[in-house]
Amino acid sequence: MSDDLRATACAHLPHCLKPLSDPARLEAAALPMHTQGDIGRTPLERLCDTLDAIFEACATFPEPSHSTFFARSMRLALAEAAADPALLTPMQREGSAGSYRRHLLIADPRGRYAIAALVWQPGQASPVHAHHTWCGYAVVEGKLRETIFEWDDARQCASALRAQARKRGAVSFVRSGRGAIHRLGNGSDAQAVSLHIYGVEGARIGTHVNDTVRVADAAELVRRLHVTT
């Protein structure tokens, strides 16, 4: 972000979010402290206040999610919200036996974002997918396993690159497109819960977020490797 744009963004931020305007300070900054006026507001309401301030600060950007400022701000907002033990009610932590369960928590009235909690029982996982929109998540409870994939445009499929454990407090943010393909799953023996923010209207959360992709067949990869060696 240029100095001029950063100054413009900073001018719109409330005091508690001023550290977000400086990338160097952001890396080392503590989570923003809420003001006395926040007393009585729920963690989700405070999260929405933060998201609204981020969007206001990025009002001059044609596409806010393309800015480093936006991405870093979203990560910090997710981390703060996920660390609050009062974030979710017991009902919002309820899972489903068939597959992971999504609870829509907040739908922005202006359609800029939707906030959801995903509950993962042991053995449940998402399909391998990219994203039609920007999105971010934080692990609220338990531990997830994230597998990262690489898109092969020539073959129109994805290949696994690596897997990593995502423990409580882990945060991620990605932009739309097939440059960020992954699969989330619960490989542990205990329930896991994650908090997600998507750049879509609440009504479109089930249809306009995940871009499910084809995964390269393992046998095909072995054959191709044999041919090229």
pLDDT in tens, the chain (229 residues): 444 444 444 454 544 455 555 544 443 333 344 544 566 899 999 999 999 999 999 999 999 999 999 999 999 999 999 999 999 999 999 999 999 999 999 999 999 999 999 999 999 999 999 999 999 999 999 999 999 999 999 999 999 999 999 999 999 999 999 999 999 999 999 999 999 999 999 999 999 999 999 999 765 555 554 444 4
**9 DSSP β-pair partners:** none
**What's the confidence (pLDDT) of residue 146?**
98
Q: Between β-strands 114-120 and 177-185, what pairing exists: parallel, antiparallel or unpaired? A: unpaired
**What's the confidence (pLDDT) of residue 16?**
44
**What's the confidence (pLDDT) of residue 97?**
96
Residue 103, annotated ligand binder?
A: no
**What's the confidence (pLDDT) of residue 217?**
79
Q: How far is 20 from 16, CA to CA, in rounded Å? A: 9
**Residue-range domains of the chain with CATH:** 3-82 (no CATH), 91-220 (2.60.120.10)
Residue 129, annotated ligand binder?
A: yes
**What's the confidence (pLDDT) of residue 38?**
64
- 152: its two tokens: 């092969």
Dihedral of the alpha carbons of 86, 133, 19, 51, in degrees to the nearest 10 = -50
Report the alpha-carbon angle 192-52-144, nearest 5: 15
Residue 182, annotated ligand binder?
A: yes
Q: How far is 84 from 217, CA to CA, in rounded Å? A: 41
